[in-house]
C-alpha cells in the first residue's frame, strides 16, 4: 500500500492525485488533525511527529511512504530516509520544483507556503542547485490554510488576503508559482486570478500532482512495492465535522474516516 501523511486534511489533495495516477493501487492516509498546523512548530517536533506517523503507516502495511505535508517534507524527509533506509520515501518538494524549472520562461519562480516551509529555505537551495541564475521569490501565507478549510473560495476577504500575501511576487513578475502547501490547490482559481498579468496566465505547479507522477514511474519500474490489494483507508488523529466537509470539497464525494491513536496504532 501507499502510505500518505499530512499535518491535517489538506494532504487529501495529494491522496486524490495519487489515486488519480494509480487507480489500481490502495492508499492508507493519515491526517494529524490533532496537532495541526506543523508550519509554526520546531524542526525537532515535526521530525518526531513524522517518525510517529511513519511507524503507524508501516504498521498498516504501507511499504511506500509519501510525505504529503510540505513542512514535514522540508524539515523531516531527510531524517525519515535515514531512519528507514529500506522504505521508498517520497516528499512533495523536488517533483514540484523540477516541474517549475521546466515550466518557467523568465526564470522567476515564486514559492508560497507556511511559515515553517518558507523559513526552511529548502526550495531556494534546491532551485539554485539546478540553476544558479534562477531567481526565487517566496511568501509565507499562513492564513490561506484556514481560508481553504473554511471553504472561503472566491470570497472578497480571501481575495484581499491573497493580494496582501502575493503582491510582491506579482510585482517581481514571476511566471511560475509553486503551491507549497497541500491546502492551496483549493484556492487555485483565486490565486491564479490575482497573479495573472495583462491576459498572461501564470503557471501554477501543484507538487502533489507532480509527486503522484513520480510515484507512478517508480512503481512501474519497481512493481514489488505497493502491490497488496486492499481498500483505501483514511485516518485522522482527531475527528470533527470539518474533516468531512474538507474531504468532500476535495474529492467531490464523502470519505469515511477512522480516528487513530498513534500510541496504540
Catalytic residues: 69, 181
Nearest partner of 78 among 22, 29, 125, judged by Cα = 125
Order of strands, sheet of 203-205, starting from the edge strand that comes earlier in the sequence: 135-140, 108-113, 176-180, 203-205
- For residue 171, how far is the Cα from the chain centroid? 26
For cell 501554477, name the residue. Answer: 204
Query: Coil, strand, or helix at residue 177?
Result: strand
Q: E strands along the chain, which residues?
A: 2-6, 27-31, 64-67, 89-91, 108-113, 135-140, 176-180, 203-205, 233-236, 257-259
With 0-12 / 13-18 / 19 or more C-beta atoms within 10 angstroms meaning exposed / middle / buried, residue 193 is: middle
234 forms beta bridges with: 29, 257
Amino acid at each position: 500500500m501507499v502510505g500518505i501523511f499530512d499535518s491535517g486534511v489538506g494532504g487529501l489533495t495529494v491522496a486524490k492525485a495519487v489515486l488519480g495516477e494509480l487507480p489500481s493501487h490502495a492508499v492508507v492516509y493519515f491526517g494529524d488533525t490533532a496537532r495541526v498546523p506543523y508550519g509554526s512548530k520546531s524542526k525537532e517536533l515535526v521530525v518526531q511527529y513524522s517518525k510517529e506517523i511513519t511507524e503507524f503507516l508501516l504498521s498498516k502495511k504501507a511499504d511506500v511512504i509519501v510525505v504529503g505535508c510540505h513542512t514535514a517534507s522540508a524539515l523531516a524527509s531527510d531524517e525519515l530516509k535515514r531512519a528507514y533506509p529500506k522504505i521508498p520515501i517520497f516528499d512533495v518538494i523536488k517533483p514540484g520544483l523540477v516541474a517549475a524549472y521546466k515550466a518557467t520562461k523568465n526564470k522567476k519562480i515564486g514559492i508560497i507556503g507556511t511559515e515553517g516551509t518558507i523559513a526552511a529555505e529548502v526550495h531556494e537551495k534546491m532551485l539554485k542547485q539546478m540553476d544558479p541564475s534562477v531567481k526565487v521569490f517566496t511568501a509565507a501565507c499562513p492564513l490561506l490554510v484556514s481560508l481553504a478549510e473554511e471553504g472561503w473560495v472566491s470570497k472578497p476577504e480571501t481575495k484581499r488576503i491573497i493580494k496582501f500575501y502575493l503582491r510582491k511576487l506579482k510585482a517581481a513578475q514571476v511566471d511560475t508559482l509553486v503551491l507549497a502547501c497541500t491546502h492551496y490547490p483549493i484556492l487555485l482559481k483565486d490565486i491564479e486570478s490575482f497573479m495573472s498579468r495583462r491576459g498572461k496566465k501564470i503557471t501554477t505547479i501543484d507538487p502533489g500532482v507532480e509527486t503522484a507522477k513520480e510515484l507512478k514511474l517508480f512503481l512501474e519500474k519497481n512493481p514489488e512495492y505497493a502491490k497488496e490489494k486492499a481498500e483505501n483507508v483514511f485516518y485522522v488523529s482527531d475527528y470533527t465535522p470539518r474533516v468531512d466537509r474538507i474531504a468532500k470539497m476535495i474529492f467531490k464525494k464523502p470519505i469515511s474516516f477512522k480516528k487513530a491513536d498513534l500510541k496504540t496504532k
